[in-house]
Amino acid sequence: MNTNHNSKKFALFAGILLLGVALFTGTFIFIVQLQKNGDSTTPYVTTENFEEEVLQADVPVLVDFTATWCVPCREVDPIIDELAVEMEGKVKVFKLDIDDSPDIYQEYNINGIPHILFFRNGVEEDRVGGAQAKSTYVDYLDGMIEGKSAFDITIEMLEGDAFRRYFILERDLEVVKTANESVPNLLTQKFENGQTPLSLILNRPSVRQNDLITLTLTFDPEISTHDLVGLGRCDEFLLAIEDDPDAVNRLDPDGNSVLVTAMMRSNRLGEDDCTEVVLSAGVDLSKQNSSNFSLGRAVVLQQNIGVLEKFIELGWDVDLQDDAGHSTLQWAAYYGYIENVLYLLEHGADATLEFPDGRTIEDFVNRSYARSKESLNAMKTNEETDFTEQIKTVKESVQMHEQVLALLKSQVDSETVGAESDTES
């Protein structure tokens, strides 16, 4: 199989991590299958015919790496199905189930799904992670059909707002630097809703976030009040809100609050963390839950009981649910943070809260727990690959979720008995 997977100039090295350890299950299937769900006719490419159908194709090829259990993949599925019909004869469009063909998934070093890979003349030219607009895939395929290079196609696509956001956040730092030479305003021009690239970066943690911030600052971008706390410039933030007191509770164009921005950056900023400064500046916790990123989730991700304690002292309602129905306890339980779960339960968090669709916290955690167990069993029975380190990590996750589920069950049973006693009396 051809292993020249990445164009030297434009390759995507980072994607959206979606339970990577869970992506190696399944058995090999050695036929091209029709779409497994619904009435779609999009063919699946597999281990046996990947070389012939993809690498030896005489037209551009799109391969959608997917899985039946992948929720974000369902957003991409109908788009790929449409492309398979609309571009028939011009390109080849396939899906690849990573559970059925894990060797290909691993060989191409894909970080998460959904992930779309584009091939031409037996070589991967580029890849796009996450669920993108249909126009993104169409524009790329049209460019390949016209014979344009991966570099030229990407530069043209950066004119689109959604793709530029994706590109800045997900592409390798060197790729962003190279692109900026051709698109000088890549990291400074505001997006359609008024959000700046710097603000976008500050509110999306990643392993390369600090490097991307440093790169962006070299182009002298506009810096907002929100950005000041994300950059650890706490004194400047305090001066800014003297002139504009409402800024402490105002959301930015993407819906991020100053407090959430500060918390999302706290671990990386260390001593320069502005969270305490924001909390002391008169922030209204009751106005924070409309933020784009759930405040309850941000609090939990601190993995710091002291932070939880501070919020509760300030009147934080631990049972307040965000727009998706998540409470602070639900997030703590989902991540398996035992100490946070215990602390929240001790301070009256309601373990019986339900999501809008009727799911309970136990249901929410059980879904993650079940997937982890499936992954663990699959890795243990796989004799072809050494998953020693992955098994250790997943086993720890399974054990944490078992403890969380036991705590939740005990609490729910206790609250149920209490409610029944109140009814009888």
Can you give the pLDDT at residue 397?
86
Is residue 73 annotated as part of the catalytic site, yes or no?
Answer: yes
Distance between start and end Cα atoms, the chain: 73
Indicate if the pLDDT at residue 1 is higher than 80: no
- Say what the pLDDT of residue 181 is: 94
Amino acid at 21: V
Q: Over the stretch 231-286, which tens digit does the pLDDT of each residue have?
A: 999 999 999 999 999 999 999 999 889 999 999 898 899 899 999 999 889 888 87
- Residue 202: name the closest of 257, 261, 263, 272 by CA: 261
Instruction: Report which listed range, 215-229, 278-292, 403-417, is most confident.
Output: 215-229
**20-148 CATH choice from 3.30.70.890, 3.40.640.10, 3.40.30.10, 3.60.10.10:** 3.40.30.10
- The full set of domain ranges for the chain reads 20-148, 313-414
Query: For residue 365, which of 321, 323, 322, 409 has the smallest C-alpha distance?
Result: 409
Integer angstrom CA distances of residue 34 from 27, 65, 78, 140, 217: 17, 15, 14, 24, 49
pLDDT at 4 over 50: no
Q: Which DSSP category does 28 fall into?
A: -
- Homologous superfamily assigned to 313-414: Ankyrin repeat-containing domain (1.25.40.20)
Measured distance CA(237)–CA(230) in Å, rounded: 10
pLDDT at 259: 92
Catalytic option among 73, 158, 274, 365: 73
pLDDT at 68 over 70: yes
Catalytic-residue membership of 70: yes
pLDDT at 70: 81
Residue 384: pLDDT band with limits 50, 70, 90: low
Closest CA relative to residue 307, chosen from 295, 292, 319: 295
Among 70, 158, 295, 298, which one carries the catalytic annotation? 70
Per-residue pLDDT band for 298 (boundaries 50, 70, 90) equals confident
Judge whether residue 33 has pLDDT over 70.
Answer: no
Does residue 35 have a pLDDT over 50?
A: no
39 pLDDT band, cuts 50/70/90, is very low
pLDDT band at residue 218 using 50, 70 and 90 as cut-offs:
very high
CA dist., res. 295 & res. 260, Å (int): 6
- pTM for the structure as a whole: 0.73
Question: What are 410-423's pLDDT values in tens digits?
Answer: 888 776 655 555 55
Q: How many CB atoms lie within 10 A of CB 385?
A: 12
